[in-house]
Chains A and B, each alone.
Chain A
């Protein structure tokens, strides 16, 4: 049941508003030069961090449609009856969300980097850092979506939950966009791996708790 579930997540992501987080990401990146001024040296220094903040806020947008509609419509119950474990559902949702969110964000990172005045090797470092961060952001988004599924006003809760959890990722991810920061990239990968491994279990427990 996992492969059809991943395919379903991708289909729903793409037919839904997959472009929305990406446009949001681009908009935040476009606002940075307006906010801090057009000085190229300053922009080059803070550009990586700014793109990470853009990625983090963009990751918040799709959270509400990741789990709650399936819970409210009984799809999660039927998956349980079909013998799929909650952790399996979680993994499929993380994979499906990553496949729609990650590549689109990486594509958008190219024009976004130019907007904040990063090019050449700096662009490559941004791409590597965001490529490693994207699956972790997808895992966090699904876990937070499951934790808040069925709660009233979950829309405002998701930010409060996701932002603090993403801090380690942002620290190392943003640091890895600087020159000569291979260590930061490795630490970012380690944090991303930890989140990817942990999120299915958190999500699974949250899905079970939401049912009781």
Chain B
């Protein structure tokens, strides 16, 4: 199994507050890491840290190519969904549109999408990227039952294919997950 994240001695300070320290994380292909912890314990910050969008206060991170779905849509609102997603040049775009049942919506402008459709669109962007490591911040938010099932099967397929998923989620996700509790 290939190593996708190797982080040693991580510490993160946000707003003058130490969120965690001396954290060692190893994630291999096929792994699923579920971040838990109360609000403000640093789950989202941890995900942004792994993504390389925040700098660790201490420690080192090495990671494979990564795709991120957080609360931001990051799609051009005036474009049709298909073209907006195509901007990110994901090699698996068609597959991702089908997996999240967005084929019908490919011609709909992004600004017309409902909340749940927008949530599926950002998950589709992650899947389309073809990156081996997925970072999903609260992926279940705004998803209906069908959307949750699509997400679960996308995650399962990704992990079976040797990818890994790191997620911060309040709800339970099907499958085997390692749990990392932050702020404990």
Interface contact B88-A211, CB-CB below 8 Å = no
**A12 to B87, alpha carbons, bound, how many Å?**
13
Interface size of B as a range: 20 to 34
Interface contact B88-A8, CB-CB below 8 Å = no
The total of interchain contacts (Cβ-Cβ below 8 angstroms) comes to 49
Interface contact B88-A78, CB-CB below 8 Å = yes
User: In the complex, how many angstroms separate the beta carbon of A212 from the nearest chain B beta carbon?
Assistant: 7
Interface contact A77-B54, CB-CB below 8 Å = no
Q: Which of B53, B65, B78 contacts A77 (CB 8 A)?
A: B53
Q: Does A74 contact B (CB under 8 A)?
A: yes
Interface contact B73-A73, CB-CB below 8 Å = yes
Interface contact B74-A8, CB-CB below 8 Å = no
B76: chain A residues within 8 A (beta carbon): 8, 12
Q: Does B66 contact A (CB under 8 A)?
A: yes
User: In the complex, how many angstroms separate the beta carbon of A83 from the nearest chain B beta carbon?
Assistant: 8
Q: A211-B53, A212-B54, A212-B55 are in contact. Are A77 and B88 (CB under 8 A)?
A: no
Q: Does A75 contact B (CB under 8 A)?
A: yes
Q: Does A81 contact B (CB under 8 A)?
A: yes
Q: Does B17 contact A (CB under 8 A)?
A: no
**A12 to B66, alpha carbons, bound, how many Å?**
27
Interface contact A15-B78, CB-CB below 8 Å = yes
Chain A residues with a Cβ closer than 8 Å to the other chain, count: 17
Interface contact A81-B67, CB-CB below 8 Å = yes
Q: Does B52 contact A (CB under 8 A)?
A: yes
Q: Does A156 contact B (CB under 8 A)?
A: no
**A93 to B71, alpha carbons, bound, how many Å?**
24
* 0 or 1 for each of B120-142: is its CB under 8 Å from A? (1 = yes): 00000100010000000000000
Q: A15-B78, A73-B72 are in contact. Are A8 and B87 (CB under 8 A)?
A: yes
**A77 to B88, alpha carbons, bound, how many Å?**
12
B67: chain A residues within 8 A (beta carbon): 81
Interface contact B54-A78, CB-CB below 8 Å = no
A75: chain B residues within 8 A (beta carbon): 72, 74
* 0 or 1 for each of B95-106: is its CB under 8 Å from A? (1 = yes): 000000000000
A212: chain B residues within 8 A (beta carbon): 54-55
Q: Which of A1, A4, A8, A74 contacts B72 (CB 8 A)?
A: A74
User: In the complex, how many angstroms separate the beta carbon of B118 from the nearest chain A beta carbon?
Assistant: 11
Q: Does B51 contact A (CB under 8 A)?
A: yes
Q: Does A45 contact B (CB under 8 A)?
A: no
**A54 to B51, alpha carbons, bound, how many Å?**
44
A80: chain B residues within 8 A (beta carbon): 51-53
Q: Does B38 contact A (CB under 8 A)?
A: no
Q: Which of A1, A8, A12, A74 contacts B73 (CB 8 A)?
A: A74
**A113 to B72, alpha carbons, bound, how many Å?**
45
Interface contact B87-A4, CB-CB below 8 Å = yes
Beyond the given pairs A8-B76, A77-B74, A82-B88, 20 more chain A to chain B contacts, judged by CB atoms under 8 angstroms and listed by A's residue number, are A4-B87, A4-B89, A8-B87, A12-B78, A15-B78, A72-B72, A73-B74, A74-B73, A77-B72, A78-B68, A78-B74, A78-B88, A78-B125, A80-B53, A81-B51, A81-B52, A81-B66, A81-B68, A83-B65, A212-B54
Q: Can you list 26 A-B contacts with CB-CB less than 8 angstroms, sorted by A residue number?
A: A1-B89, A4-B87, A4-B89, A8-B76, A8-B87, A12-B76, A73-B73, A74-B71, A74-B73, A77-B53, A77-B74, A78-B72, A78-B88, A80-B51, A80-B52, A80-B53, A81-B51, A81-B52, A81-B53, A81-B66, A81-B68, A82-B89, A83-B65, A211-B53, A211-B54, A212-B55
